[in-house]
Amino acid sequence: MSANLVLVVVVGVLFAAGVYLLLERSLTRVLVGVILIGNGVNTLFLVASGPAGRAPIVGLNDVDDMSDPLPQALVLTAIVITLGVTAFLLAMAYRAWQLNGNDEVQDDVEDAAIRRRAELDEVSSSYDDSAGGTMDEEGADEPAAVASSPDGDPAAVGPEGEQR
């Protein structure tokens, strides 16, 4: 099978640009990335179908000269699906913008809460261990030193932990 080099390069560029955009935080950019990759995949299907031939209509052209019609049918389906998903993503980006004033993908709230709790644990255990005030590198900064002075109560570090 011989592949068209230009098409292969186009596929590569579309994928590269699409992946770059997909890694962004803004939903609109993600959307553009999806569209680019979607078109990249469609072009890849054309590469997969082999060299171009004549229109695949029985009776009009000789069977040996025809291009492969199956990938074109597959691409049509893929285009329709990409269209639908794009519309949904667009609506979602708009809704996110309505709600938050931006369309950025946000961190998970619970994950952040658990991370914060883990940090609090770390700090408070260092208090318990080091009654004399020797701090690990985590808690060596100024506010921690202030918080440590009362009685090493973990609750006292609460606000400090949230600052991080």
Kindly tell me which residue out of 28, 39, 49, 148 binds another protein, with binding defined by CB under 8 A. Answer: 49
Question: Using CB under 8 A, which of the segments 59-67, 110-118, 128-136, 137-145 binds another protein?
Answer: 110-118
Residue appearing with tokens 């803004």:
26
Kindly tell me which residue out of 14, 28, 32, 38 binds another protein, with binding defined by CB under 8 A. Answer: 38
Kindly tell me which residue out of 13, 52, 76, 81 binds another protein, with binding defined by CB under 8 A. Answer: 81
2 binds another protein (CB under 8 A): no
Tokens of 151: 């009685």
Taking the CA atoms of the chain, what radius of gyration do you get in angstroms?
28
Tell me how far apart the alpha carbons of residues 45 and 129 are, in angstroms, rounded to a whole number.
63
User: Residue 67 in contact with residue 52, Cβ under 8 Å?
Assistant: yes
Question: Using CB under 8 A, which of the segments 51-59, 104-112, 126-134, 151-159 binds another protein?
Answer: 104-112
32 binds another protein (CB under 8 A): no
Question: Using CB under 8 A, which of the segments 38-46, 58-66, 123-131, 149-157 binds another protein?
Answer: 38-46
Tell me how far apart the alpha carbons of residues 139 and 160 are, in angstroms, rounded to a whole number.
10
Kindly tell me which residue out of 10, 66, 79, 92 binds another protein, with binding defined by CB under 8 A. Answer: 92
44 binds another protein (CB under 8 A): yes
User: Residue 9 in contact with residue 43, Cβ under 8 Å?
Assistant: no
User: Residue 44 in contact with residue 26, Cβ under 8 Å?
Assistant: no
16 binds another protein (CB under 8 A): no
Kindly tell me which residue out of 14, 28, 39, 71 binds another protein, with binding defined by CB under 8 A. Answer: 71
User: Residue 11 in contact with residue 44, Cβ under 8 Å?
Assistant: yes
